Amino acid sequence: MKETIYLLTGAAGFLGINVSQSLIARGKKVRALVLEGDPAAKRIPPEAEIIGGNLLDPASLDEFFDVSSGAEVIVLHIASFVTVNPEWNQKVYDVNVTGTKNIIKKCLEYKVKKLVYISSTGAIPEIPKGQVIKEINSFDINAVVGCYSKTKAEATQLVLDAVRDTRLDASIVYPSGICGPGDFAYTFFARFIIDCANGAMPAGIAGSFNSVDVRDLADGVIACAEKGRKGEGYIMSNSFVTIQDIFSLIHRFTGAPEVKVVLPVPAAKFLAFFAEIAAKITKKPAMLTTFSIYNLARNNNFDCSRAVQELGFKCRPFEKTIEDTIDWLQAEGKIQIGDGFPVPVVKKAA
């Protein structure tokens, strides 16, 4: 059998590290692309081969793609510039769209066996509440909201176009929000738990949340590389939960006072309007924005049945993910309640 090597972009990120760990645990050979000087590279498993390079510098990618003769190459394009700011951002476009275009070209040049592109459920147009959002076959940047979603939609279409017009074999993964222990960038979900558990969130906003455990997503990405059909996409999500559900879980697992005040969406939008005006004056990020409210109020009910049926995708209950994340945050000293720092987790009854 030919040797297989997995090439990972975004290898120093939250998902990339988990994918690397899962592949190495299976005895697979991993090559990781990182920006020169990226401090997060220290978290990449030592068994992985680290190559310096930049998605926006095609020449720097040659060492990353150049493998020993006869080896089969599977590329997992995980790198992405994530932003919660809906406004146009050239850097976001460059990384998400131009970077993906460069990866596609190198995949064709080096005749890789398979490309798996990590897109986002944000690239899929929202449909009315009460309906389940499923995979689609073409993408329109004008059908989605926000710079990140638009760039992911455009990049996803580039991958599909390459599958149609060239010999490229590629599949696509559409994660919902990504959460779980080990999020050292302390992105939205981790920050939400920290603020809530430490009493820095006096009120919430009516809405829902859908987030896939990073450990399950990592396994799903690998399954897509092994079983994903050419030109097909796979939503990988969890069941959606309400914001009040999350408050109740954080209360259960930490003992922190439960947030009882949940603002209706119209009231939250009213407050966000003034918060955004204040942010422009003070030059400080707004704690509440109309775009963040949109993401909580939108339809977050995604259908992952295709990934379950074709790839064997499994996602642990959200309750378990939030419990594990809280355990990790407490071990990192990020959760403080009362005079204790950190407070012992209050476990649920068996």
CA atoms of 205 and 291, how far apart (whole Å) = 13
pLDDT of residue 342: 46
pLDDT in tens, 186-202: 998 999 999 999 988 88
DSSP string, 172-233: EEEE-EEE-TT-TT--HHHHHHHHHHTT----EES-EE-EEEHHHHHHHHHHHHHHPPTT-E
Is 148 within 8 Å of 120 (Cβ atoms)?
A: yes
User: Residue 275 has which token pair?
Assistant: 């918060």
CA atoms of 198 and 269, how far apart (whole Å) = 25
pLDDT of residue 68: 81
In terms of pLDDT, which residue wins out, 103 or 203?
A: 103
The pLDDT confidence band at residue 70, using thresholds 50, 70 and 90, is: confident
User: Residue 263 has which token pair?
Assistant: 């603002």
pLDDT in tens, 33-48: 999 889 999 999 999 9
One-letter-per-residue 3-state SS of 104-116:
HHHHHHCCCCEEE
Question: Within its chain, how far is the Cα of 304 from the centroid?
Answer: 15
User: Looking at residue 229, what DSSP letter applies?
Assistant: P
Percentage, residues of the chain above pLDDT 70 = 95
Which amino acid is located at 150 in the chain?
Answer: K
pLDDT over 90 (residue 159) = yes
User: Residue 157 has which token pair?
Assistant: 């279409």
23 CB-side CA count, 13 A:
33
* Helix ranges (DSSP H) in 110-186: 147-165
pLDDT of residue 348: 46
CA atoms of 293 and 347, how far apart (whole Å) = 31
Rounded to the nearest 10 degrees, what angle do helices 188-197 and 243-254 cross at?
60
Mean pLDDT score across all residues of the chain: 92
Q: How many residues are listed for the chain in this entry?
A: 350
The pLDDT confidence band at residue 337, using thresholds 50, 70 and 90, is: low
pLDDT over 50 (residue 346) = no
200 CB-side CA count, 13 A:
10
Q: What's the rounded mean pLDDT across residues 266-292? A: 84
> 189 Cβ partners below 8 Å, 6+ apart?
177, 178, 179, 183, 211, 325
pLDDT of residue 272: 85
DSSP string, 290-334: HHHHHHHHS---B--HHHHHHH------HHHHHHHHHHHHHHTT-
Q: What's the rounded mean pLDDT across residues 232-242? A: 96
SS3 content of the chain, % helix, strand, coil (to 5): 45, 15, 40
Percentage, residues of the chain above pLDDT 90 = 79
CA atoms of 135 and 311, how far apart (whole Å) = 15
CA atoms of 238 and 166, how far apart (whole Å) = 34
Q: What's the rounded mean pLDDT across residues 215-233? A: 98
CA atoms of 342 and 335, how far apart (whole Å) = 6
User: Residue 346 has which token pair?
Assistant: 């209050």
CA atoms of 164 and 172, how far apart (whole Å) = 14
pLDDT of residue 338: 52
Burial class (CB in 10 A: 0-12, 13-18, 19+), 57: exposed
pLDDT over 80 (residue 349) = no
In terms of pLDDT, which residue wins out, 177 or 348?
A: 177
59 CB neighbour count, 10 Å cutoff: 8
pLDDT over 50 (residue 350) = no
pLDDT in tens, 316-329: 999 999 999 999 99
pLDDT of residue 127: 96
The pLDDT confidence band at residue 288, using thresholds 50, 70 and 90, is: confident
CA atoms of 286 and 53, how far apart (whole Å) = 34
